[in-house]
Chains A and B, each alone.
Chain A
Amino acid sequence: MPRGIKDRVAIVGMGCSKFGERWDDDAETLMVEAFDEAIADAGIDVSRIDAAWLGVGFEAQNVGPSGIPLATALRLPDIGVTKVENYCATGTDSFRGAVNAVAAGAADIALAMGVEKLKDTGYGGLPVRSRGLNSDMYGVTGSAPGNFAQIAAPYRAKHGVSREDLKRAMAHVSVKSHANGARNPKAHLRKAIDIETVLNAPIIAEPLGLYDCCGVSDGAACAIVTTPDIARALGKTHPVLVKSIQFCTSNGWELQHGGGWDGSYFHTTRKAAARAYAEAGITDPREQIDLLEVHDCFSITELVTMEDLFISGEGEGWKDILDGFYDADGHTPCQIDGGLKCFGHPIGASGLRMIYENYLQLQGRAGERQRLDNPRLALSHNLGGAPIQNVSAITIVGLAGA
């Protein structure tokens, strides 16, 4: 294993637009909104940015190809901008580009931007699109809820969980995230709900009901990263440091190898998590990690991810959830900002939004929703694609010495 990037890159500024149905904005103005916050937070002039990465998931309904939209929107000073697309891991991958550039010494200060403008499609949910010419011939053009719903039946079958128990645990995930989102002024959905509302909602894709699904939102989030030395020179006495970024991309084993993957878990998340913990020097994630921001595109995704991150034991995640382990006042809060479920899910921005929340929490700047037990290590996780073929991304950030 490579020696990794632990503690070699610091985050000096972050910004996040309000997420939601931003009818009056386009991707360009959302990027400016997030950037204004980040550059003020960093306390630097734009001329100091050496390189930038732009993450956009659905470019066709959005800004279009290339890094040009970011360079133009922010009038960046004649630097290189790389456009990134990696399903729902897009935002984290743009962050990875910027962080690795700094870690490599190729840039002193780098910018990662993620943006998505999804409310220009004319309908709710993600845009329907081709997944490539070969897949168009023998793949299923399913919806995102349809794809992720498929993890439920094998999970039930493998762990002997009844439909009712699983549905109730899934509902708890959503009720918790709604309660958290209600305390977040930038969240898309800010209304607390009760469990009966979740259980009685119309079915979108069996067994996922309306409240088991996150909405899609417009929004942008960005990060400015640099070396710990430059961060300290900028006056950041306790900078938030990158402990690990790990990706795992399906190679077709889950999709094609009969009798292999059983459909009940995320193979890629387990691989990425193990590597991330090794890189960050974490040996007991359940006790060492203080905060979780995971890819709760659907309640069942969050439930299973608790196990794939090795926080809950296999087949035990649903019980931890019902016990309140992941509630805002629980042992390890998950989605304390409302998550994809309520903060919202502008695809390209989501990974950076998660890091943004962890960044605020580690600095004690999360306002009404601030966790008060001095969190020192926080994990964020993205999952792009479908359970059977996906990109999983894990970022761990923390304070010096954590």
Chain B
Amino acid sequence: MHAANRWFAGGLKTLAHGTRSIANWDEDAVTMAVEAARACLDGMDRSIPRGVTLASVTHPFADRSNAGLIKEALTLPDDVVATDAGGSMRAATLALRDALEGSRTRLVIGSDLRKSRIGSEGEMLQGDGAAAILVGHGEPIARLIASHSLTIDFIDHFRRSGTAFDYQWESRWVREKGYMDLLAGAVATLLKEAGLTAGDIDHAVLPISDPAAFRAAARAIGLRPEAVIDTLGANVGDIGCGHPLLMLASALERAGPGERILVTGFGQGADTLLFETTEAVTRNSKRGVARALSAGKSDDNYMRFLFHRGLIDMDRGIRAELDQKQPGTTLYRKRSAVLGLVGSKCGETGVVQFPPSAIAVDPNGRFRDTQSPYPLADRIARIISYTADALGYSPDPPTYYGTLDFEGGGRIVTEFAEVGPEDVEVGRAMRMVFRIKADDEQRGFTKYFWKAVPAQRGEG
């Protein structure tokens, strides 16, 4: 980035190191949230969450429940409560606090697709990503022991509804009045109420992307240096609403039983939450931060990033004019198959198929209405055939797609994501991910479906 923009924004040189996470062209705050939630709910019965909250300031839809869409992708029961939360960078910590104080077992997800101007500080400091946490009933890996929040209209940055880019105020003022005064003050109050001191904190989550402000805040609070959790600024960047949850996931991965974790959120005030881990912390999901980082694919094509983020336009050709209109009626009828990747299993023959149909696909008999729902999203699938298509329009040509057979039965033809020539061969194991299938630019609708990515080690 800096190599491309140095001529214009030479002052960003101090930030020009490390990497940042970028979402693929077919990802957004919803798809990343689904992926984070799947990692969080790894192996867990999907009827356990009784609510799901998506905290984001980049919801793909302003008026269509984004959390409701996540509920469909996760195949949660229809009677869950799905909530979109937003409004500030504190959306996830506020949602987390509400969930902890509520009665339902609730999945809280923070997710954002960051968009910043070319050559801006945000472009260097931010990343795309999501993190999820499940709170409520059951055996906890950590318990909330104290919380304290402040609401003050302190405007470090803002963005008017319907616009694309943040407007940022001077970083020195944000550091001194925002983090060192307001945030550190909120932590001091929390500790006082809990009868603890800063030295009693074993792991501290300070989601502050400005490295100088991060260090200053830690000092102002009085944290032990080893207690301060890395912001992942050098390899992920600030992922927005999800960032406190991402750092909390890091803290839970390194924490032992009986340790105290401070979580903070900042934005027009501050949230502070103090947790204590339990014995169960050692049995946390294996699909954590380190694994998510290793699953990424490196990309140094800045022009591609700008195009995918809608910051530059390219000549897409006539083929891109295909109308992607989505009738509401058909999506409603097929929502389970399309959004949840739920196939079916014939009760007579055991044959699995996608999508379900009135008459089963099994050639050995005609069975009508014998199929029951059979989720396929979490099953490994192996490549039967594939191609890399350079003719059809794709935002990231060539389009890889092919036929896959699921372990345990079922077949699908779908697109592959994040693959190159070395990743595809007959028999190769793939896993399914929820992604954007197409965009209806004419009517402003995003179509989602499931694609295949290479399975990670140990997945098949």
- Where the two chains meet, the residues of A that have a C-beta atom closer than 8 Å to any C-beta of B are 121-123, 125, 128-130, 133-134, 136-147, 149-154, 156-157, 203-206, 252-253, 255-260, 262-263, 387-388
Contact = CB atoms under 8 A, between A and B. Distances in A.
B188 to A, nearest CB: 53
B205 to A, nearest CB: 40
Contact of B427 (A140, A145, A157, A255): A157
A141 B361 CA distance: 23
Closest 9 CB pairs of A and B: A146-B389, A143-B391, A263-B385, A149-B387, A258-B411, A150-B385, A143-B392, A206-B388, A157-B426
Given A142-B401, A258-B352, A137 B447 contact: yes
A253 B351 CA distance: 12
Contacts, number: 138
Given A133-B330, A258-B409, A140 B415 contact: yes
B322 interface: yes
A262 B318 contact: no
Contacts of A204: 389-391
A390 to B, nearest CB: 13
Contacts of B365: none
Interface in B76-97: none
Nearest to A149: B387
B157 to A, nearest CB: 38
A134 B384 contact: no
The interface centre, meaning the residue of B354, B391, B425, B438 with most chain A CB atoms within 10 A of its CB, is B391
Contact of B361 (A139, A145, A252): A252
A131 to B, nearest CB: 11
Contact of A122 (B318, B386, B415): B318
A260 B330 CA distance: 29
A203 B389 CA distance: 9
B103 interface: no
Contact of A388 (B388, B399, B413): B413
B398 A206 contact: yes
A256 B354 contact: yes
A130 B325 CA distance: 10
The interface centre, meaning the residue of A122, A256, A258 with most chain B CB atoms within 10 A of its CB, is A258
A336 B430 CA distance: 43
A146 B399 contact: yes
Contacts of A154: 384-385, 426
A259 to B, nearest CB: 6
Contact of A205 (B327, B355, B388, B409): B388
Contacts of A206: 387-389, 398, 421
B414 interface: yes
A392 B318 CA distance: 30
Contacts of B324: 136
Nearest to B438: A141
Given A123-B319, A138-B338, A256-B411, A151 B389 contact: no
A249 to B, nearest CB: 14
Contact of B322 (A134, A141, A258, A260): A141
B441 interface: no
B323 interface: yes
A153 B385 contact: yes
Contacts of A253: 361, 363
A123 B318 CA distance: 7
The interface centre, meaning the residue of A140, A257, A263 with most chain B CB atoms within 10 A of its CB, is A140
B403 interface: yes
Interface string B297-338: 000000000000000000001110111101100110010011
A314 B352 CA distance: 29
A137 B391 contact: no
Nearest to B362: A257
Given A142-B389, A146-B392, A257 B363 contact: yes
B402 interface: yes
B390 A140 contact: no
B405 interface: yes
B389 A137 contact: no
Nearest to B410: A258
A293 B393 CA distance: 32
A125 to B, nearest CB: 6
B266 interface: no
A203 B390 contact: yes
22 contacts: A122-B318, A123-B317, A134-B330, A136-B326, A140-B415, A141-B322, A156-B426, A203-B388, A204-B389, A205-B398, A206-B387, A252-B361, A253-B361, A256-B354, A257-B351, A257-B363, A257-B411, A258-B353, A258-B411, A260-B363, A263-B385, A263-B403
B151 interface: no
Contacts of A259: 405, 409, 411
Given A137-B337, A150-B403, 8 more contacts: A128-B321, A128-B392, A143-B389, A154-B384, A203-B390, A258-B410, A259-B411, A388-B403
Contacts of B410: 258
Contacts of A145: 387, 389, 391
A154 B387 CA distance: 11
Nearest to B401: A140
Given A154-B385, A258-B406, A258-B411, A133 B327 contact: yes
B449 interface: yes
A185 B12 CA distance: 66
Contacts of A252: 357, 361
Given A253-B361, A256-B353, A140 B414 contact: yes
B409 to A, nearest CB: 5
A149 B398 CA distance: 13
Interface string B258-291: 0000000000000000000000000000000000
A137 B326 contact: yes
A316 B427 CA distance: 23
The interface centre, meaning the residue of B318, B319, B323, B355 with most chain A CB atoms within 10 A of its CB, is B319
B409 A150 contact: no
Contacts of A140: 401, 413-415
Nearest to B412: A138
